[in-house]
């Protein structure tokens, strides 16, 4: 059995539902300590994180990721126990195999292989691992980054092992992510009898034209790296359940996934503009979930593209799709951040799985990136 398969299995068999790390980080820390890394556990609130570093000089290449996984859903629908990693036809099944314990195992084994070759390393290697990426993400990567910044410990390159590939392993790497902004709009009306609308004020009728305008709006045209900003309504709640009552209020929850061609303040101002123009009585609870970030093509993306092409024959395209990731906490410090990992078709689903061959190629890819950047 290959080293990466073995370590992935050990990680997957630990039931690390957010924020419980369930001993995954200890496994990694022991292996890194053996390689000479200075390992620092950093627990904040309920969340275990660790930072590990080998070398004192720059440039600093960091591997980052998370040990926590999302819940399994109905266990009886899985073809095998989600926390008993099981091989079926070259695929390793289990919760977290693709997102992202396979990536964690690959980065660990790649560093072991790199150091075993006794390189004249020019720079340092770091690991930044959290157990709260799938949850609220307040006591995870963001807090570790605060500590590093206080110490002026600057990351030059960061490889996140998140599953980035779509149809074929090697097709996609992420060099950024869109921003996410949620708003909870509450529109006030006056409750009354449907037969006497003149004595009531229907908040659904009030908000409907505003929603039509927001749904039809073009927020920006995107740019070379981002698709145009999208606006989606996720929840609409109003009404008493009775057929003869005009409700007193309506609540609309919506979300922007936005490009770097617009700011969240501009989006907020435009929403307020529409609601004010239509003279709604309303309030909005704004919940910013993360600003967009982008790593322009550079040494890291180049090294990663070359390594992926060598291993898979595919030259990965740069992409900023998908949800947010912990890259949003690392990129603003000036680090180049690239996400590359296995195919993501099964992540968060029943029967999550990863191809063993992809894990083995991922080790080769990370190993190559280490050689290219650190010598
Ligand atoms: Zn993930």
User: DSSP secondary structure string, 90-109?
Assistant: TEEESTTIIIIIHHHHHHHH
- Are the beta carbons of 324 and 337 closer than 8 angstroms? no
> How much distance in Å is there from the Cα of 134 to the middle of ligand 1?
7
> How much distance in Å is there from the Cα of 240 to the middle of ligand 1?
40
| Separation between Cα atoms, residue 222 and residue 225, nearest integer Å | 8
| Separation between Cα atoms, residue 239 and residue 202, nearest integer Å | 10
pLDDT tens-digit map of 225-250: 999 999 999 999 999 999 999 999 99
Choose the catalytic residue: 20, 21, 48, 68: 68
153 is annotated as an active-site residue: no
Choose the catalytic residue: 20, 112, 132, 133: 133
> How much distance in Å is there from the Cα of 296 to the middle of ligand 1?
22
| Separation between Cα atoms, residue 224 and residue 219, nearest integer Å | 16
> How much distance in Å is there from the Cα of 162 to the middle of ligand 1?
5
φ, ψ for residue 133, nearest 5 deg: -105, -35
Structure tokens, 20:
């419980």
pLDDT of residue 321: 86
> How much distance in Å is there from the Cα of 29 to the middle of ligand 1?
20
358 is annotated as an active-site residue: no
Look at residues 49, 48, 51 and name the one whose alpha carbon lies nearest to residue 62: 51
| Separation between Cα atoms, residue 29 and residue 12, nearest integer Å | 16
> How much distance in Å is there from the Cα of 160 to the middle of ligand 1?
9
* Burial of 88 per CB tally in 10 Å (0-12, 13-18, 19+): exposed
pLDDT digits (tens), the chain, 375 positions? 899 999 999 999 999 999 999 999 999 999 999 999 999 999 999 999 999 999 999 999 999 999 999 999 999 999 999 999 999 999 999 999 999 999 999 999 999 999 999 999 999 999 999 999 999 899 999 999 999 999 999 999 999 999 999 999 999 999 999 999 999 999 999 999 999 999 999 999 999 999 999 999 999 999 989 999 999 999 999 999 999 999 999 999 999 999 999 999 999 999 999 999 999 999 999 999 888 999 999 999 999 999 999 999 999 999 998 888 899 999 999 999 999 999 999 999 999 999 999 999 999 999 999 999 999
Order of strands, sheet of 91-93, starting from the edge strand that comes earlier in the sequence: 86-88, 91-93, 353-355
Look at residues 122, 119, 120, 138 and name the one whose alpha carbon lies nearest to residue 130: 138
> How much distance in Å is there from the Cα of 140 to the middle of ligand 1?
13
3-state secondary structure of 370: helix
Residues in Cβ contact with 120 at an 8 Å cutoff, skipping those fewer than 6 apart: 375
Report the Cα–Cα distance between both ends of the chain, in Å, rounded.
29
Structure tokens, 369:
């990136």
Interstrand relation of 60-66 and 157-160 (parallel, antiparallel or unpaired): parallel
- Are the beta carbons of 191 and 244 closer than 8 angstroms? no
- Are the beta carbons of 262 and 197 closer than 8 angstroms? no
- Are the beta carbons of 61 and 157 closer than 8 angstroms? yes
- Are the beta carbons of 50 and 39 closer than 8 angstroms? yes
Sign of CA dihedral 339, 344, 350, 352: negative
> How much distance in Å is there from the Cα of 20 to the middle of ligand 1?
15
3-state secondary structure of 152: coil
> How much distance in Å is there from the Cα of 53 to the middle of ligand 1?
22
The DSSP bridge partners found for residue 26 are none
């Amino acid at each position: 059995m290959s080293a990466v398969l073995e370590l992935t299995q050990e990680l997957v068999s630990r039931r690390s539902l957010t924020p419980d790390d369930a001993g995954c980080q200890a496994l990694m820390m022991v292996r890194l300590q053996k390689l000479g890394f200075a390992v620092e556990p950093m627990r904040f609130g309920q969340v275990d994180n660790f930072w590990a570093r080998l070398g004192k000089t720059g440039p600093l290449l960091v591997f980052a990721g998370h040990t926590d996984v999302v819940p399994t859903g109905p266990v009886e629908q899985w073809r095998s126990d989600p926390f008993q990693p099981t091989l079926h036809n070259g695929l390793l099944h289990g919760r977290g195999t693709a997102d992202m314990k396979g990536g964690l195992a690959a980065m660990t084994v790649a560093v072991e292989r790199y150091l075993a070759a006794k390189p004249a390393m020019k720079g340092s290697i770091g690991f930044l691992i959290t157990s709260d990426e799938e949850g609220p993400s307040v006591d995870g990567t963001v807090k570790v980054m605060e500590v590093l910044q206080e110490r002026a410990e600057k990351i030059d390159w960061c490889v996140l092992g998140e599953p980035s590939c779509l149809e074929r392993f090697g097709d996609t790497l992420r060099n950024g992510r869109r921003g996410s902004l949620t708003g909870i709009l509450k529109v006030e009306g006056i409750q009354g009898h449907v037969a006497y609308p003149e004595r009531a004020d229907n908040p659904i009728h009030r908000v409907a034209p505003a929603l039509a305008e927001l749904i039809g709006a073009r927020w920006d045209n995107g740019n070379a790296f981002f698709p145009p900003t999208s606006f989606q309504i996720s929840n609409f709640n109003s009404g008493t359940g009775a057929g003869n009552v005009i409700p007193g209020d309506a609540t609309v929850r919506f979300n922007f996934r936005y490009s770097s061609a617009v700011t969240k303040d501009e989006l907020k101002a435009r929403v307020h503009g529409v609601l004010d123009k239509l003279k709604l009585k309303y309030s909005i609870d704004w919940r910013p979930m993360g600003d967009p970030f982008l790593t322009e093509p550079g040494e890291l993306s180049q090294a990663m593209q070359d390594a992926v092409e060598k291993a898979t024959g595919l030259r990965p395209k740069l992409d900023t799709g998908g949800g947010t990731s912990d890259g949003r906490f690392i990129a603003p410090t000036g680090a180049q951040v690239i996400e590359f990992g296995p195919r993501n078709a099964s992540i968060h689903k029943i029967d999550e799985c990863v191809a063993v061959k992809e894990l083995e190629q991922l080790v080769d890819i990370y190993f190559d990136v280490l050689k290219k950047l650190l010598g």
